[in-house]
């Protein structure tokens, strides 16, 4: 079982920002910017997004769109950037990153310090916006 499956099951703690029956979104623990969110299918552990069946693939992006709308409402930003890498965790996930500049999307940059209290507050703010949608 991957670490992200265990997060979706609640066996490992995470800062949840949105959830439905099949998909789960939570804050990246080492964010490129405060509010950096990961969106995952709960039950599909394949590590390559283009291996997903068409229905799951479309559902994942539809869920990610809603999360991005909530994220932008909760975290002031120019727009929400999207990336799919998967070099580290072998469980399909979409990165949603609140951007002020193009450089905020640079995965090699030094990450900002975000305290657990800040993570908690940001996650709660995004979840609140998500629940309005």
Q: Just list the catalytic residues.
A: 93
**Spatial contact of 99 and 80, defined as CB atoms under 8 Å apart:** yes
Q: How far apart are CA 84 and CA 120, in angstroms?
A: 24
Pick the stretch among 49-57, 67-75, 83-91, 113-121 that binds ligand AMP (CB under 6 A): 83-91
Say whether residue 29 binds ligand AMP (CB under 6 A).
Answer: yes
Question: 42 Cβ partners below 8 Å, 6+ apart?
Answer: 5, 8, 9, 22, 23, 24
| Choice between 30 and 100, CB closer to ligand AMP | 30
Question: Which of 5, 14, 56, 92 is in the footprint of ligand AMP by CB under 6 A?
Answer: 14
Pick the stretch among 28-36, 69-77, 98-106, 120-128 that binds ligand AMP (CB under 6 A): 28-36
| Choice between 32 and 70, CB closer to ligand AMP | 32
Question: Which of 21, 54, 87, 116 is in the footprint of ligand AMP by CB under 6 A?
Answer: 87
**Spatial contact of 45 and 56, defined as CB atoms under 8 Å apart:** no
In whole angstroms, the minimum distance from the beta carbon of 63 to ligand AMP comes to 17
What DSSP element (H or E) covers 116?
A: helix 116-132
- Here the tokens at position 132 are 């309005």
Q: How far apart are CA 11 and CA 98, in angstroms?
A: 27
Which positions lie near ligand AMP, rule CB under 6 A? Answer: 3, 14, 28-30, 38, 85-89
């Amino acid at each position: 079982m991957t670490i992200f499956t265990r997060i979706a099951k609640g066996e490992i703690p995470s800062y949840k920002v949105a959830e439905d029956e099949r998909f789960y979104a939570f804050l990246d623990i080492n964010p490129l910017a405060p509010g950096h969110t990961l969106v995952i299918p709960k039950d599909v552990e394949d590590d390559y997004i283009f291996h997903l069946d068409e229905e799951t693939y479309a559902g994942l992006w539809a869920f990610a769109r809603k999360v991005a709308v909530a994220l932008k409402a909760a975290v002031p930003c120019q727009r929400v950037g999207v990336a799919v890498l998967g070099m580290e965790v072998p469980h399909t996930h979409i990165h949603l990153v609140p951007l002020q500049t193009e450089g905020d999307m640079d995965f090699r940059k030094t990450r900002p310090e975000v305290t657990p209290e800040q993570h908690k507050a940001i996650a709660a703010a995004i979840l609140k916006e998500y629940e309005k949608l």
